[in-house]
Structures are given as C-alpha cells and as structure tokens.
Amino acid sequence: MVTSGLLFAFMGVALQLAARELPNTVVVFARNALGLLAFVPLLPRFFRIGWRTQSLREHLIRGLAGLFAMYGNFYAIAHLPLAEAVLINYSVPLFMPLIERAWLGEPVPKGLPARLAVGFAGVLLVLKPGSSLFQPAALAGLWGAAAGALAQVGIRRLTATEPTLRIVVYFSVIATLASAAPLPFAWRLPQTNGVWVALIAAGVLASVAQLFLTRSYAYAPAGSVGPFMFASVLWAAGLDYLVFDRTPAGATLAGGTLIVVAGVLSLRAAPRVTAPTTIDD
C-alpha cells in the first residue's frame, strides 16, 4: 500500500504536467489506454489464470466507479496543489463505511458519526471555507473520493474470489472502453514531447500502483492495510515541494491531520474480514 501511494504521487506529478496542455477527458483516456498497454507482457499469465469470471457485475461496478473517481481526482490534481488534491482524494475512508453498509450489509461501526464529523471538518479546512468551497476542482475531488470509496469496496469484495491480475485487467479494459466514449467531443493530441512522456508515465505508474493496491487488499483486511494509504499524502507533499516549489498552507496541514485521523479510525473500525491464504495471480 505504501508503494502504491508513492507511485500514485508520481502519477499526480505527471498528470499536472500533462493537464497544462490537454483536457481532462483526453488525459483520463490516455491514462487508461496506456495503462492497459502496460499489461500486454502479462497477458500470457492472465490467460493462464483464465479470463472467465462469475463476478462480472462486481467488475462493472468497480470499473465504472473507478473511472468516475478518476475523472474527479484528475480534474482536482490538474487545478489544485498536488498535496491538497491528494488530501481531498484520501477522504475516501470517510465514505467507505456508508457504502459497505449499503452494498455489503455490514453494520455501522460505533462512533461513526463522530469520526465523519472530524473527517469532513478536515475536508472543509483543506477546501478553505469561503469562495474556494465552491471551486469546481474541489467539488470534483470530493465527487472523485466518493466514487473511489465505491471502487475500493468493490476491490475488497472481488479479492475474496478473484485473483489480483484479473481484477486489474478487467478494470483497465472497462475504464479504457468507457473513457473512449467522450473523445469525439474533446480529442486533442499532445504538441510537445514532454506531454507525451508525462502521459506514458502516468499510465504505467497508475497501472503498477493498481497492482500493488489490489494485492494489498488481498493480503489483509481494509482495517489493517488501509491506514497505510495515507503515506501517499506525505509523498505528494514532498513532490509538491521538490517539483513545483509549493508548501502546504496552515489550514491544509490542520485539515489534513483531521482527515488522516478520522480516516485511520474509520478503517481500523472496519469489519475484520479474513484475507485469502493463497493468491493466484
């Protein structure tokens, strides 16, 4: 999970560079298409595992939720400081207990309202109450976080029966096909070599990060491994400073602390689902 967070942070840098020249719809499609190409060397293993699945509905929910999360998160990354965009994205655990209750029928953890109040207070601080609360980029980031929570609950459900590689390949195929739909209305090719490099890097980094993320949920329950996702916030803040010479504002640091505390508490309160003892991927 920590490695996944590092790779996603580097992906965020690549996306910020690509978004200077390309619209969000093109960036999302390129990330998915290039990410899918990154799995070509793994296709022999994928077909040895078998492409048939008894969980197509769950794959579709996970794939479309992940795609909608991508649209929201990528827009936030393109228009907000990287650390702030990642913090909003990592409000995902605040939504997860509600989705687990609605989808999996799991009981609502004790103390959930208090944790949600703390977490969303942190979100408001990161958004900087006032005019920025209504910034499209900030609201898109929240939308992406809610969709991302649905996608992560989907991953958790799928890892009970599906190998890691099949989950990630199905996601890549679904997301690539669905993100191609709006291209006729916004297609634009990169004009510089640097943007091509950024797009390719974003696609490869995101796909490898997905493998690490999915594998982490296969090895341990969300309550055990989920808190380590917040390492991505530290990676993003460091890269924001090193690459873009930006440091988080005081309100961002305070809000980020509340989000992390509430998120970790929510994940630790998640039901302790036993991980599979073997993973055929």
Residue range 111-127, pLDDT digits in tens: 777 777 777 777 777 76
Q: Which of 14-28, 56-70, 145-159, 209-223 has the lowest mean pLDDT?
A: 209-223
* Token output for 270: 């998640």
Tokens of 180: 């191609």
Confidence band of 82 (pLDDT split at 50, 70, 90): confident
The answer to which of 9-23, 32-46, 58-72, 92-106 has the lowest mean pLDDT is 92-106
Whether the per-residue pLDDT at 271 is higher than 70: the answer is: no
Q: Which residue has the higher pLDDT, 1 or 147?
A: 147
Tokens standing for residue 192 = 């510089």
Residue 269: its pLDDT value, please?
63
Dist CA 145 CA 110 (whole Å): 23
Cβ partners under 8 Å of residue 139, min gap 6? none
- Residue the block writes with tokens 């944790």: 115
Q: What is the pLDDT of residue 214?
A: 78
State the Cα angle at 158 between 153 and 162, rounded to 5°: 160
d(CA 272, CA 255): 28
Burial of 220 (0-12, 13-18, 19+ CB in 10 A): middle
DSSP class of 107: P
116 Cβ partners below 8 Å, 6+ apart? 94, 262, 266
On average, the pLDDT of the chain sits at: 80
What pLDDT is attached to residue 275?
Answer: 43
Of 88, 65, 63, nearest to 12 (Cα)? 88
**89-101 pLDDT, tens per residue?**
877 777 877 787 7
In this model, does residue 179 exceed pLDDT 90? yes
Backbone angles phi, psi at 8, to 5 degrees: -65, -35
Residue 270 predicted with pLDDT over 60: no
The continuous run of DSSP H or E covering 200 comes out as: helix 193-219
Q: What percent of the chain shows pLDDT beyond 90?
A: 13
Say whether pLDDT at 159 is over 60.
yes
Dump strand ranges (E) for the chain: none
Helix axes 112-127, 82-89, angle to 10 degrees: 160
Name the residue with higher pLDDT: 209 or 257. 209
CA angle 167, 171, 176 (to 5 degrees): 155
Determine the pLDDT at residue 280: 43
